[in-house]
Amino acid sequence: MVASGVLYHINEPIRLLQSIGRVTSQVGSWIHYYRTDIIRARPELDQKFKATLDRQKFRNIEIRLARQAYLDALDWAGFSGGSAMMSYWLTRRPLA
């Protein structure tokens, strides 16, 4: 299965990944992920993200999620984001 440009438009990305895992043993995904240093350095992006990260547990792994609001983009005729007013971007775990 291939998921390209989908995950960062989802309200529950961990749940989606669990669902994908139930139907296939392999998946390739191209996504944007949240990096505080990059987002905070760009005011046009920074305004879209909640200041603090949300946290979820998945099998003893803490997942950090950045809540992103579509804001004015929802009014654009060519908007191609998610079906809700917001989504969660996953953060990238540091390599051990």
Average pLDDT over residues 39-62: 91
Contact by Cβ (8 Å): 34, 28: no
pLDDT value, residue 41: 97
On whether residue 95 sits in a domain, the answer given is no
- Cα(90)–Cα(63) distance, rounded to whole angstroms? 8
pLDDT, tens digit (0-9, with 9 covering 90-100), for 58-92: 888 888 999 999 888 888 888 777 778 899 999 98
Nearest CA to 53 out of 65, 43, 69 is that of 65
On whether residue 96 sits in a domain, the answer given is no
Task: Quote the domain boundaries for residue 70.
Answer: 2-90
pLDDT tier, 94 (very low <50, low <70, confident <90, very high otherwise): low
Number of structural domains (the chain) is: 1
* Structure tokens that stand for 9 in this block: 């438009």
Average pLDDT over residues 49-65: 89
pLDDT of residue 3 exceeding 90, the answer is: no
* pTM for this entry: 0.80
pLDDT value, residue 40: 94
